[in-house]
Structure 1
Amino acid sequence: MLHSGMKIVKYSSRHTKVFVSEYAVNNDKGGDAGNGSLLASLAEAAFLTGLEKNSWNPDAIVFNSWQQYGTPSYWMQTYFRESSGSAIHPVTISSSYFDLLAASAITWQDNEDIFLRVKIVNFGPSAVNLTISSSGLQAGVNAAKSTVTVLTSSNLLDENSFSEPNKVVPVTRELLNAAQEMQFLLLPFSLTSFDLAMF
């Protein structure tokens, strides 16, 4: 079941601007969703009811009068902050556990540097060996500026709290083996982001 901390409300144009992205049920293999079936619309309605019902708890950021912390959902959303205005880039991910993975890749720019960001979710309880291949890059990969960021924890049900605000947070480190084709071991129940810097 999908839940969100957003609430559907009307905003005056005099207030803070609000951006609502697309959502849709689809099946690129031509299954039940087709080009917009009744079944797909019912699934989308179920998603929107979840937005309405779960508008207050959980929140992405929890706070009281003197302290705050980000939930794992907050930290997950930081992986997608460069997605606006970015370009989707094709990559090939080879793994025997492919059914337990979800992935996307974008190119984005940070000041003068251009990055290929490959995000991969491992839904499975086991570590996964995989090979990532990216073709069509207009530049080489600069391993010295490339990083990998992982969001995971020792227990799938771990949460952050005021006493442990950093129990589930992303950890970033250098990716010295960064290349157009590279092997990596994904941790169980994890979200991993590879930021490959381009020359």
Structure 2
Amino acid sequence: MDTFSNSSRFDKTSRSGPKVFVSEYAARDNDARNGTLLAAVAEAAFLIGLERNRNWIPDTIAFNSYQSYGTPSYWLQQLFIESSGALYLNSTLQTSSNSILASAIRYKSSQDFKTYLRVKVVNFGSEIEKLRICINGLSSKVQQSGSTKTVLTSLNKMDGNSFSEPNKVVPRKSALENASNNMVVLITPYSVTSFDLLI
């Protein structure tokens, strides 16, 4: 899908030339249909590229005269909401897979006002990926209690939400039992995963 491969589109854009304004983005082809998990995962990769380079304010909500639901693309943006005003952290991704993208930010939660590292990982492939996350250079340690993992995925990459199933593809949050400064995690196929590490 072209949206995934465009994740590095702005990385080498000149900072001294004309400014770029991205007002809309979307995965658009037969795989995207009316909103699928595959489209959301591809868009997450594109958003990681935007996050590295500029700000954005998108939304994707379907509604009629009496119902509404968020598409998988809407829900993935919840994983990026704390990026505004956050400190983007330099990170290195060492992998032989060309299906994985990741980024890291440090932010203060608007919910509990605590400081977190958020490591977002996109798996655009059909296989489970094993990933080691190493946090270096912090004066404090990652706290196991209070750290969480949120995953946006589904059994079928073409799944989407609808008025009859508005929560088929939504983020699922759980405690991160092995949270530490050096941990191994498994990344689900066709997924967007956010590791919120309390520090």
Length-normalised TM-score, structure 1: 0.71
Matched, 1:91 2:78: no
2:170 counterpart letter in structure 1:
V
In structure 2, the residue matched to 1:143 is: 144
4, 11, 25: which is aligned to 2:9? 25
Structure 1 residues not aligned, in runs of 5+:
3-22
In structure 1, the residue matched to 2:73 is: 73
Q: In structure 1, how many angstroms separate the alpha carbons of the residues matched to 2:178 and 2:9?
A: 37
Q: In structure 1, how many angstroms separate the alpha carbons of the residues matched to 2:147 and 2:128?
A: 22
Matched, 1:130 2:131: yes
In structure 1, the residue matched to 2:114 is: 113
SS at match of 1:129: strand
Q: Deviations over 1:117-153 (max 9, x none)?
A: 0001001010001101111122111111000000011
SS at match of 2:82: coil
2:186 counterpart letter in structure 1:
L
Structure 2 CA distance for partners of 1:94 and 1:131, relative to 1, 3 Å: farther
SS at match of 1:91: coil
Shift of 1:112: 3.5
In structure 2, the residue matched to 1:60 is: 60
- Does the Cα contact within 8 Å between 1:131 and 1:181 map onto a contact in 2? yes
Q: Deviations over 1:76-133 (max 9, x none)?
A: 1111101111101233444332x21111100001244100000010010100011011
SS at match of 1:96: coil
Structure 2 CA distance for partners of 1:169 and 1:49, relative to 1, 3 Å: closer
Shift of 1:64: 1.4
How many residues were matched structurally?
163
Q: In structure 1, how many angstroms separate the alpha carbons of the residues matched to 2:80 and 2:99?
A: 20
SS at match of 1:82: helix
Q: In structure 2, how many angstroms separate the alpha carbons of the residues matched to 1:25 and 1:186?
A: 24
Q: In structure 1, how many angstroms separate the alpha carbons of the residues matched to 2:11 and 2:85?
A: 24
Structure 2 residues not aligned, in runs of 5+:
29-33, 36-58
Higher RCO, 1 vs 2 (CA within 8 Å, ≥6 residues apart): 2
Mark the structure with the bigger radius of gyration.
Answer: 1
Length-normalised TM-score, structure 2: 0.71
Q: In structure 1, how many angstroms separate the alpha carbons of the residues matched to 2:193 and 2:8?
A: 24
Structure 2 CA distance for partners of 1:178 and 1:24, relative to 1, 3 Å: closer
SS at match of 1:194: strand
SS at match of 1:77: helix
In structure 1, the residue matched to 2:39 is: none
Q: In structure 1, how many angstroms separate the alpha carbons of the residues matched to 2:142 and 2:86?
A: 18
Q: In structure 1, how many angstroms separate the alpha carbons of the residues matched to 2:105 and 2:182?
A: 16
1:167 counterpart letter in structure 2:
K
Structure richer in strand, relative to its length: 1
